Amino acid sequence: MVTAVHSLPAPRTVSVRHLGPNWYASVMGTSVVATAGAALPVHLGGLRAVCTAVWALSSVLLATLLTARARHWAHHRDQARAHLLDPAVVPFYGCLSMALLAVGGGAVTVGRDWIGTGAAVALDTVLFTAGTAVGLAAAVAVPYLMAVRHRVEPSEATPVWLLPLVAPMVSAALGPLLVPHLPPGQPRETLLLACLSLFGLSLLATLLMLPLVFARLVSGPLPLALTPILFLVLGPLGQSTTALSLIADDAAGVVPAPYARGLGVFAVLYGVPVMGFALLWLVLATAHVVRARRQGMGFALTWWAFTFPVGTCVTGTAALARHTGLAVYDALAVGLYALLVTAWAAAAAGTVRGLFRGELLAGPRPAPGAPRPATVRTRSGAGR
């Protein structure tokens, strides 16, 4: 029997009712602090141990969020379905893929120091497989839903639309970490070329979307709370540079020599101009954020957009430093990493404060004088 009640749900499940897929951005932003730190061209005493600890924290965050989101789908399916039909929320399903991939890649990069290489490779294999599958599904399903169900206008484009499209690029960047652990021959070549295919898939889809994002920006600034998402444009730029460089690094002995040499050349010829554009966008986005702060922009979960995209620029710049041998890229990677750590500290502190105050998991506030919505309680306990 279905009974309508006019009371708030019990505290046991109200905490996850409004937990959206955007929370996975905190996992991505935390994990990239570890992997970007390990990729730096300079070696500081104790940095790797700190990076390993940060990766462990991101692993705990991922496990916690996966559990909480499972409860969300089990007890609040109406809200979960509403998220799928909301064009402002559904692109964040790309964050689930990238969170899985980031933690998996971090296991092989730094986590192996604590859990061993065998366990790290096994964990990365599972998370890479799951993350790539989710990312490819999101890259198809989200644009389909936006075209068929959401019917959004090009004038409504925001950098959030890039999230499901950049997820396969993260797979392209982290897949090469598993190549050396596969049997020589076709298994290695298949994975490496699959990563190159994912690179192309994501790059071409991103190039189709970026003009819409830029057209929206030049038509007027974003709302204050959304201004940080301008940093999301850095994600495909830094991640594509990282992906191509890592593919080139593993190409020797995996693909025929002419292709291996060509990939090394392509990594530099592609990465240098792309990272140049990334620096231009970084300055532009920072100017918008400074303007928004002066106009009263407060903390929101969108601040996590400051982290993962900047982290991909760190790994991309570090890769260029390795391929070109230029000291300027060494210095740039260190400077960007300092920016990343500062951004992560600000986003993490704001998130912790918001959780303790109960603001971040609270539902939308009703308009003054509006009646309190009814909550439906069923036998399955969905309204508990």
For 198-249, the pLDDT digits (tens) are 999 999 999 999 999 988 888 888 999 999 999 999 999 999 999 999 999 9
How far is 283 from 152, CA to CA, in rounded Å?
29
**Domain positions in the chain:** 20-361
End-to-end CA distance of the chain: 15
Residue 333: C-alpha distances to residues 42, 150, 163, 204 (Å) = 9, 40, 24, 26
Question: What burial class does residue 249 get, using C-beta atoms within 10 Å of its C-beta: 0-12 exposed, 13-18 middle, 19+ buried?
Answer: middle
State what percent of residues in the chain have pLDDT above 70.
90
**C-beta separation of 230 from 217 below 8 A:** yes
* Fold assignment, 20-361: Glycosyltransferase (1.50.10)
How far is 66 from 68, CA to CA, in rounded Å?
6
252-304 residue pLDDT tens: 989 999 999 999 999 999 999 999 999 999 999 999 999 999 999 999 999 99
How far is 311 from 234, CA to CA, in rounded Å?
9
pLDDT on residue 14: 44
3-36 residue pLDDT tens: 443 444 444 444 788 888 999 999 999 999 999 9
Identity of residue 366 = P
321-335 residue pLDDT tens: 999 999 999 999 999
CB neighbours (10 Å) of residue 259? Answer: 17
pLDDT at 379 over 80: no
Element (H, E) at 240: helix 234-251
Between 24-39 and 327-357, two packed helices, what is the crossing angle to 10 degrees? 150
pLDDT on residue 150: 74
Going by C-alpha positions, the residue among 6, 23, 5 that lies closest to residue 15 is 23
Predicted confidence band of residue 88 (pLDDT cuts 50, 70, 90): confident
Which 3-state string (H, E, C) describes 106-135?
HHHHHHHHHHCHHHHHHHHHHHHHHHHHHH
pLDDT at 87 over 90: no
181-199 residue pLDDT tens: 999 999 999 999 999 999 9
Predicted confidence band of residue 364 (pLDDT cuts 50, 70, 90): low
Going by C-alpha positions, the residue among 240, 239, 246, 277 that lies closest to residue 263 is 246
pLDDT at 134 over 60: yes
pLDDT on residue 38: 94
State what percent of residues in the chain have pLDDT above 90.
73
pLDDT at 311 over 80: yes
Place of tokens 């990677």: 333
CB neighbours (10 Å) of residue 348? Answer: 18
Q: What is the CA radius of gyration of the chain?
A: 21
pLDDT at 361 over 90: no
How far is 320 from 209, CA to CA, in rounded Å?
26
How far is 168 from 109, CA to CA, in rounded Å?
19
Would you put residue 326 in left (φ > 0), alpha (ψ -120 to 50) or beta? beta
pLDDT on residue 363: 64
Question: In this structure, what DSSP letter does residue 157 have?
Answer: -
Mean pLDDT of the chain: 88
